[in-house]
Structure 1
Amino acid sequence: MHTELVFCKSKVFVHCSSKAEDNIPGFLLITRDSQQPALEATVTWIPEKDLEKDQINDLMKSDLDRISGGDRRRIKKDIVSQALYVAWAFSIKVSSIYSIQFRPPSPSGWWYGSVAINSRSIQEQDSIPILFFHDDVCPSTKEKKKELSKSFDPFSGTDIYWGAHDFRDALLNIADLKQTFVDPTVWLVNATLDDLRNFSPSDPKQKRDASKVSSQESSLWNKFDEAKWSIMSKFADLTTKSTNRIATVFTQHPLVKFVDKHNNNPYVKHILKNPKVQEIQDDFDSAKIYLAKWALGVKEQAEKYQAKNGLDDTYRRLLYNELGSDGGDVQLTEEELNIAMQRNHTLSRAKWDSFFDAEGRLSITVHEVKDYIFHGGVTDKELRREIWLFLLEVFPWASSAEERRILEETLRDGYRMNYKSKWEYREPHLDADEESYWLDQVLRVEKDVKRNDRDLPLYKYNTDDGEAPSSTDEDQAQSDELQDNDSWTVRNPHLQKLRSILLSYNVYNDDLGYVQGMCDLLSPIYHILKDEELSFWAFVSFMNRMERNFLRDQSGIRDQMLTLTDLCQLMLPKMSHHLAKCDSSNLFFCFRMLLVWFKREFEFDNVCNIWEVFLTDFYSSQFQLFFMLAILQKNSLPVMENLDQFDQVLKFFNELRDTMDWSDLMIRSELLFVKFKKIMDILERSAELDEYTLLTSEGNVITETPASEAERSPDNRTSLVTDNLKQLLSKKLVIKREPTRDKNSVK
């Protein structure tokens, strides 16, 4: 039997003693059977002396062929199996490797570069010797060095090439390798998220020092920038004084002073209707909104600079000052801050593949997978397509690859036969009201589809192939772009598929029908999947949780607004109090953001990042409310110091579009949830103690119960705990359905 030779390196030695003559040369191999997943590949080292002459020749040729880009070869499996019975030889599955240390050679040649493989099994570890790469006698290494010398750039800043680079590159194509900050020579193989966190330094300064680049000549300018943004950040924190000073200029206007003093007088109210007075007041309001946004903008830029340049300790202090402690007994720990801030372990293709066994079933828990998605996200667009099919429950997490293949065929047939065909070949309904209702639904769908995300290349051009129009089609395409003219025909194939999916969903969920905003929800799903049938089923699943946002009586979105109000009162009492003074306690300005999950507040790619975090239900199935709470918290100071009218608040939040940092808000969302859970635990404990005290006092039995000071003291926030807030701790979806439709319900 044969196996595929993925990698081969000759003249890799084991040093049995301090004597050079005891060194044993051998071959370092990576092999893999064609039907095996990547992680089942095997790393083998076997001495030359235990191989036949023809085997040595084949392996030497394979080593040199790899340098020239030749095709992979196949070798007999018995070469690998020999490693089990030969002294010093070893064979280990890639999935069994915990870490590898790559220790580079001495530049002066005093020692050879080496590789230390660390197994997850203690017993297996004892049988794996350290491997030394004798680059001076390895033909493939010498050949590659000759090639590299032709294009050598001494200022490139890259590591000097040595033999183990080839081994590492081969493993990178098979497994997920992550270099540790603690020791850059150590690489973790298919590390868990806990491993990655443990190997990241808890001291932000240590992390900066470990990741320094060699461009020391720019340090002077970096220090200048750091000093500049440090000053700007402090300046932003002092905007209260600046704002009050500038606002004084406006308040000194005689008319403004008169209005402020007599604003309840009927005569003054009549004066306020004068266009000139309104103009002055509008100028004053606009200036206050501008100052609030300016203060927030300076702060945002300072935080972005700190994050970009690794100033995590500054950012950490800022987060802790704003969220970590409210002066009470609820504080965030260093570990909680670390976990929330470490969002750089992006889920890669190699890592994703490592989650599945030979049958394509998950070999780790769903919670672990979601931890990666929640804290690292997905940047690979092809991988995102695969992951979203799981997040949107098109594919069950417990399914095998074969089960998913069969299920996909079933879903495709079901979409075409049970839903799409019913409106494609539909006969006019005998009931005139029903026919009128259907035609109105079609009109609504087409109207929204024509306006959908036309700035994205996929939907931009209304041509038959969706590509940029040719000169002959240019006039037609330009006329189609007129947004105030809904009479044009959709030609773009992707817009046509959006229309088909929405009409098919109308058949699937006839009670709900089409409501404006649903196309906003479908657009990202189709953009990622680019598949009509699978996008339909993903949308069906998504609407399972989002239907409550579109109910005719608006009870679902109203419940979320009430929950957000309760949440704001509990977590941001000062902001809540100020919004009440601004006649904004109903948080009406949050309505649009929650309705379509911030689809219109962020750039498209950022929306995808945000949604996949929400879809994990990692902390709560209503995590979107904590994201909204983070937006309120982030903007609380500018709002409280500058705005005092409903219109000002509404205008301020409506104009936040494309100005917010989603990553910063997601960190704040997580920390707010962690803090919320702690508060709820304390309040629940307080309520239990109060109930226990009441029961014992009624029974004339008084028992001293050990408790913390917080538990002994009644918490004035206990009364704020509502059923809505308790539900935020659940990962179970909150589902509300539209009642059965009748003729009167849609009028």
Structure 2
Amino acid sequence: MTLRLLFCKSHIYIHKSKDSKDNLNGFIIITNERDSQGQDAVLSWISATALDAQQMNWLFKKEMVLVGDEKGEEPIKNVKMNSQILNIAKSGSMGSFSISLSSLYSIEFRNPSPSGWWYGSMVIHSLSALEDSTLPVLFFHDNLCPSTKRRQAILKKSFDPFADTGGIYWGGIDLRNKIGELVDLQRTYVDKSVWLINATLDDLRNFSTNNLTKANVKGEGQDDDGSIISDELWSKWEATKWSVMSQIANATSKTGSFVSSLVKKHPIVKLVEQNRENRYVKQMLENPRVQEVQDDFDSAKIYLAKWALGVKEEADRYQLNNQLNETYRKLLTNDLGIDFTGDTNFSPLELNKAMQRSFPLTRPKWESFFDSQGRLAITVTEVKDYIFHGGVEDMELRKEVWLFLFEVYPWDSSKDEREQILATLNESYQEYKNKWLFKVSSFDDEEEMEREESYWNDQVFRIEKDVLRNDRNVDIYHNNTEDGKPAVTEESTNTERTEEGHTQEVAPEQEDSSDHWTIYNPHLLKLRDILKTYNIYNDNLGYVQGMCDLLSPIYYIFQDETLSFWCFVKFMDRMERNFLRDQSGIRDQMLTMAELTTLMLPQLSEHLKKCDSSNLFFCFRMLLVWFKREFPFKDVCSIWEIFLTDYYSSQFQLFFMLAILQKNSQPILQNLNQFDQVIKYFNDLHNTMDWNDLMIRSELLFIRFQKLMNFMDRREEQHGNVQGEDIVTVSSDGGDTTTAATSGVELHEVDSNGEEQPVTNRVLPNHSQHLQLLLQKKIIIQREPPRTHDSVK
């Protein structure tokens, strides 16, 4: 067993009494075994009186090595630990102690007095109340500590005394930063000196923590302990500004009706409106000048709708980015019609939980979920809560987390079991790949072989055509060259910025060359091979356009052929229903979406029916590939991992779609009235939506839907299934249902005067199977039936 010394700082005292002569001097160290996780690290305090001169000199030397050289030499990350010294700490000699970081609940870092009246100190709180009583307060005598003084000299030389500290530098900051590298460390808002270790989501929500890695601000905006002072006047001014802008947007939407009325006063438009069915008028409409006027009229309405929504989007985004939670809360309350009363409304706790999405899953937090054998030590639901409400911090961590989300690795597996699973998957993948790589055939009949060969060639052509068009704005797919880098030619090149923010030189396109269909890029080649192998694995389904869209983000994350294949296989278990030849799977989702819109957004549903858009055709592409083409590439990864948790429902993507409809309902209601206008409006939403805001709305809409369904069930139990017995009341702004009743009931809406008015031709779905399935977390699987000669054309 090889031990590593990760941190060391001297002149850390225990003040036993007010008399300084009673102070106990010592070293604070952090140690760990080689190749073990940060959660296993041990924090120790060792009394100097328990060490001999040689051991003390060894610790002093290593302390300086770990802090770095004053001339700019980089500090060493760790050194081999002297096991004898660590044994002294474990023995408890002269007050020494050791405790693992995973056993800690929180640490208080109390800043020193700027004037030097008191030392900085730390108070350790463990998960065990019994252990807390034995852990002393540790005081940092920075005026004596050589590593702290060297660090101060380095900071002074760089003219950045506040670097990496968020305030005045002292020795406790070095320790805090090191602990933050090893475990998940979060600062609390309630007491800014308290930092939680591996906190649960409930702890984070209760303490309202700030992120450890929060960007530094200028010194004049900080108090003595480095915390940010909120400028209330500034916050109020900004909140007021965006509130006014939001009102302007609403007013503009309403102004759209006024502008439309002005346009309608044009004599040609008036004639058209009054005599639209007259054959002479129809003939006149074919005149190019008349069409131009009509097109201008339609374009103006769409423009106004988009402008109004754009201002509201900017207001919403500002509230989220600047954490003006109370203002954003009011905005949500207004948009969703929340009043916290009635059986189908939200509690303040539910609203707060949905809004609180500022705790992403970090690597230290992820590692804290597993025990020494690599088995999950908390419930799967707790893990999914983190992912659903905060997402995964970065692409590197997704390589591990997504293997569990796709259930390539079982949630209850150990580290050794996962290694065995990976070896088996590698072998199995190669077997499937060899079947097409070496053209292994199971057909004896020559005619059958020819038919299969023709089918296979057609599949390969479809795959390669889609792969070549796949996400070419993403860095690893951008250049179709053998090394994936820009081709160097004598011709001039131009500079292009990829979606990931990288700037690169791009050679001129050569689409006219004879081999423009040839794939050279190594990553595109792997996409092709994975899709061809899946075609062997799932021979009945074949390749359908859109599958490459689903594979692309998976491969981007793993950049490993085998892992990407098996994640794709698991993904297709739930997504195959979208690609069935008879389209029954996607049709069921569209029907569910229509019923859900009817129930949750009745006014919008009625308006879309008048626009000949009641089939929600504009949702088709979004649902088919899970909004892959509506959001930036990295946002898609964040959206997908939330869907994959099945935290509320295995069809949560429908509530995300519902949130898009709800967010855009007012511009549509007030400005659009034609099928083509609605289609164009939604097609133009590409890369304009804030997915984080939509996810908050999705969660709240699901909670409302779940309560509504439960309410309907309770009413039926109480009163029986009597046709037309009760009335369902809905908000007049296209928001949400506020009260509900049993099946087969008439719908009413509340108008602007607060009076109920009947909504014509609307009946609440009678125990719709589609809506009931939205409440289940189990994945809905639909398979393509066995392929026949006639099934593939």
TM-score normalised by length of structure 2: 0.86
Aligned to 2:352: 338
Matched, 1:405 2:419: yes
Distance across 2 between alignment mates of 1:354 and 1:631: 36
Matched, 1:179 2:187: yes
Residues 86-120 of structure 1 deviation map (CA, whole Å, 9 limit, x = unaligned): 35332211111000010010011111100001011
Aligned to 1:734: 780
After superposition, the Cα gap between the structure-2 partners of 1:520 and 1:709, relative to the gap in structure 1 and judged at 3 Å, is closer
Shift of 1:424: 4.0
Shift of 1:48: 1.5
Aligned to 1:624: 653
Residues 635-670 of structure 1 deviation map (CA, whole Å, 9 limit, x = unaligned): 000000001111111111111101111111111111
Distance across 2 between alignment mates of 1:577 and 1:161: 63
3-state SS, counterpart of residue 118 of structure 1: strand
Distance across 2 between alignment mates of 1:55 and 1:218: 51
1:296-445 maps to which residues of 2 (within 5 A)?
Answer: 296-325=309-338, 329-426=343-440, 430-431=447-448, 432-445=450-463
Aligned to 2:156: 149
Matched, 1:32 2:39: no
Distance across 2 between alignment mates of 1:37 and 1:155: 30
Between 1:631-640 and 1:244-253, the stretch displaced more is 244-253
Aligned to 2:257: 244
Shift of 1:279: 2.5
Matched, 1:114 2:121: yes
Between 1:616-625 and 1:178-187, the stretch displaced more is 178-187
The residue identity in structure 2 corresponding to 1:10 is S
Aligned to 2:83: 76
Aligned to 2:294: 281
Shift of 1:538: 0.9
Residues 354-388 of structure 1 deviation map (CA, whole Å, 9 limit, x = unaligned): 11112211111111111111111123221112211
3-state SS, counterpart of residue 46 of structure 2: strand
Distance across 2 between alignment mates of 1:709 and 1:386: 44
Shift of 1:272: 3.2
Aligned to 2:705: 676
Matched, 1:160 2:181: no
Aligned to 1:59: 59
The residue identity in structure 1 corresponding to 2:98 is S
Shift of 1:154: 6.3
C-alpha contact (below 8 Å) 1:88/1:127 kept by paired residues: no
Aligned to 1:18: 18
3-state SS, counterpart of residue 379 of structure 1: coil
C-alpha contact (below 8 Å) 2:253/2:304 kept by paired residues: no
Distance across 2 between alignment mates of 1:713 and 1:472: 73
Shift of 1:715: 6.5
The residue identity in structure 1 corresponding to 2:467 is V
The residue identity in structure 2 corresponding to 1:30 is I
Distance across 1 between alignment mates of 2:520 and 2:293: 50
Aligned to 1:104: 111
Distance across 1 between alignment mates of 2:258 and 2:327: 28
C-alpha contact (below 8 Å) 2:161/2:169 kept by paired residues: no
The residue identity in structure 2 corresponding to 1:197 is R
Distance across 1 between alignment mates of 2:696 and 2:510: 39
Shift of 1:331: 1.7
Higher fraction of helix = 1
Structure 2: gaps of 5 or more residues: 69-74, 211-216, 223-227, 494-505, 724-737, 748-763
C-alpha contact (below 8 Å) 1:80/1:91 kept by paired residues: no
Distance across 1 between alignment mates of 2:292 and 2:45: 83
Alignment match of 2:769 (pick from 696, 699, 723):
723
Shift of 1:518: 0.7
Alignment match of 1:463 (pick from 458, 465, 481):
481
3-state SS, counterpart of residue 772 of structure 2: helix
Aligned to 2:726: none
After superposition, the Cα gap between the structure-2 partners of 1:537 and 1:441, relative to the gap in structure 1 and judged at 3 Å, is same
After superposition, the Cα gap between the structure-2 partners of 1:402 and 1:712, relative to the gap in structure 1 and judged at 3 Å, is closer
Distance across 1 between alignment mates of 2:220 and 2:570: 46
C-alpha contact (below 8 Å) 1:459/1:466 kept by paired residues: yes
Alignment match of 1:598 (pick from 627, 632, 635):
627
C-alpha contact (below 8 Å) 2:253/2:305 kept by paired residues: no
Aligned to 2:96: 89
C-alpha contact (below 8 Å) 1:576/1:585 kept by paired residues: yes
Shift of 1:140: 1.9
Aligned to 1:509: 538
Distance across 1 between alignment mates of 2:32 and 2:406: 33
Number of residue pairs the alignment of both structures matches:
726
Residues 37-65 of structure 1 deviation map (CA, whole Å, 9 limit, x = unaligned): 32122111122122233222222222222
After superposition, the Cα gap between the structure-2 partners of 1:531 and 1:674, relative to the gap in structure 1 and judged at 3 Å, is same
Distance across 1 between alignment mates of 2:601 and 2:470: 36
Shift of 1:226: 4.9
The residue identity in structure 1 corresponding to 2:477 is Y
Shift of 1:218: 9.7
Shift of 1:254: 1.1
Tell me the C-alpha RMSD between the 2 structures: 2.9
Shift of 1:479: 7.3
C-alpha contact (below 8 Å) 2:14/2:23 kept by paired residues: yes
Structure 1: gaps of 5 or more residues: 203-208, 695-707
C-alpha contact (below 8 Å) 1:449/1:495 kept by paired residues: yes
Residues 121-162 of structure 1 deviation map (CA, whole Å, 9 limit, x = unaligned): 111111111111111122222222222222234687941111
Distance across 1 between alignment mates of 2:22 and 2:246: 63
Shift of 1:521: 0.7
Shift of 1:481: 4.9
C-alpha contact (below 8 Å) 1:103/1:185 kept by paired residues: yes
Aligned to 2:557: 528
3-state SS, counterpart of residue 550 of structure 2: helix
After superposition, the Cα gap between the structure-2 partners of 1:224 and 1:649, relative to the gap in structure 1 and judged at 3 Å, is same
Alignment match of 1:188 (pick from 187, 196, 199):
196
Aligned to 2:48: 48
3-state SS, counterpart of residue 619 of structure 1: coil
Shift of 1:633: 0.2
Aligned to 1:704: none
Distance across 2 between alignment mates of 1:474 and 1:132: 64
1:553-564 maps to which residues of 2 (within 5 A)?
Answer: 553-564=582-593
Distance across 2 between alignment mates of 1:25 and 1:444: 73
Shift of 1:31: 1.6
Aligned to 2:4: 4
3-state SS, counterpart of residue 24 of structure 1: coil
Shift of 1:221: 7.8
Shift of 1:269: 3.6
Distance across 1 between alignment mates of 2:166 and 2:427: 53
Distance across 2 between alignment mates of 1:363 and 1:426: 45
Aligned to 1:230: 243
Distance across 2 between alignment mates of 1:230 and 1:141: 48
C-alpha contact (below 8 Å) 2:50/2:94 kept by paired residues: no
After superposition, the Cα gap between the structure-2 partners of 1:247 and 1:166, relative to the gap in structure 1 and judged at 3 Å, is same
The residue identity in structure 2 corresponding to 1:3 is L
Distance across 2 between alignment mates of 1:512 and 1:14: 70
3-state SS, counterpart of residue 136 of structure 1: coil
Residues 389-426 of structure 1 deviation map (CA, whole Å, 9 limit, x = unaligned): 21122211111122111211211111112334434435
C-alpha contact (below 8 Å) 1:423/1:504 kept by paired residues: no
Residues 146-198 of structure 1 deviation map (CA, whole Å, 9 limit, x = unaligned): 22222234687941111111211221221111111222211110111111111
The residue identity in structure 2 corresponding to 1:178 is Q
3-state SS, counterpart of residue 713 of structure 2: helix
C-alpha contact (below 8 Å) 2:743/2:765 kept by paired residues: no
Aligned to 1:206: none
C-alpha contact (below 8 Å) 1:569/1:576 kept by paired residues: yes
C-alpha contact (below 8 Å) 2:245/2:315 kept by paired residues: yes
1:675-714 maps to which residues of 2 (within 5 A)?
Answer: 675-691=704-720
